[in-house]
Amino acid sequence: GVFDSGLGGLTAVRQMHRIMPNENIIYFGDTGRVPYGSRSRKTVLQYARQDVAFLKEHDIKAIVVACGTVSSQVLGDIKRENSIPIIGVVEPTCYAAMRHTKNNRVGIIGTMGTIRSGAYEAKLHTLDPSVHTLARACPLFVPLVENGRFLPDDRVTQLVIEEYLTEMRDFGVDTLILGCTHYPLLRDAISQFMGDDVHLVDSGAEAAEYAHRFLVSAEQRQG
Ligand code: DGL
């Protein structure tokens, strides 16, 4: 089972189809209530509980929270409340970022809620206390993606990217965490602005890779 506030989590599903083609995936995109990123923690928790309850009606063996907003704010709560394995995007994404960075300067972009939580920075600093981070909320990215405005030659998208990411580029990051699963859909446009030298870490794809490793080792444990 995989869920997100909208179509962003399909970036995780795309990768899951590639690496575990035999798994049946049930996807729930809460397009009726997107975006989650600007809502209070209390509301995000309420929505996350409902999303989990919906997926659990479908005989699933694990849940991938393909949403940076839910993963960074309430993952602990929903894990405690459910015995089924639940995998979020923050940890796998931070591991990938630290594998990639050479200059130890890592940028993080995400929704308001994700950036306010500080979850990505906290995890990066536990992996390497000397890492330099810069985090920036990009609230207009989700509506752009949900409205299909993700092509690199879209003038409006280019302008919004410039507004949000100029500081990030000046900070000299060599690795940029796309901490919201909608953002990989803007990958080409973001990459065009940041330059080829900046590695973009896709939080949905990293969660999918992690879920794959987790399921393989769970199957091995069961013999
Ligand atoms: N794709 C989600 C995330 O990763 C949610 C975006 C939103 O609904 O604001 O944060």
Residues 6+ apart with CB under 8 A from 10: 4, 27, 29, 66, 204
- Please give the order of strands across the beta sheet that includes 105-110: 132-137, 105-110, 175-178, 199-202
Mind listing the pLDDT tens digit for each residue in 19-47?
999 999 999 999 999 999 999 999 999 99
Q: Average pLDDT of 117-124?
A: 98
Which of the residues 48, 67, 200, 201 is marked catalytic?
67
d(CA 96, CA 102): 12
Residue 167 pLDDT grade (very low, low, confident, very high; cuts 50, 70, 90): very high
- pLDDT tens digits for 43-54? 999 999 999 999
Q: Is the CB of 71 under 6 A from ligand 1?
A: no
Q: Which amino acid is at 128?
A: D
Question: Residue 43 CA to chain centroid, in angstroms?
Answer: 19
Reduced to 3 states (helix: H, G, I; strand: E, B; else coil), residue 1 is coil
Nearest CA owner, ligand 1 atom 8:
35
Q: What is the mean pLDDT of residues 199-212?
A: 97
Query: Is-catalytic flag, 94?
Result: no
Indicate the pTM of the whole model.
0.96
Number of Cβ within a 10 Å radius of residue 53: 11
> Does residue 72's CB lie within 6 angstroms of at least one atom of ligand 1?
no
Whether 223 shows a pLDDT value over 90: the answer reads no
Q: Is the CB of 88 under 6 A from ligand 1?
A: no
Half-sphere exposure of 100 (CA within 13 A, CB side): 22
Q: What is the pLDDT of residues 63-82, one digit of tens each?
A: 999 999 999 999 999 999 99
CB-CB neighbours of 116 under 10 Å: 16
181 pLDDT tier (thresholds 50, 70, 90): very high
Q: Are the C-beta atoms of 204 and 184 separated by less than 8 Å?
A: yes
The full DSSP string for 45-78 is: HHHHHHHHHHHHTT--S-EEE--HHHHHHHHHHH
Residue 222: other Cβ atoms inside 10 A: 6
Q: What is the pLDDT of residue 216?
A: 94
Of these residues, 180, 189, 194, 207, which one is catalytic? Answer: 180
123 close to ligand 1 (CB < 6 Angstrom) = no
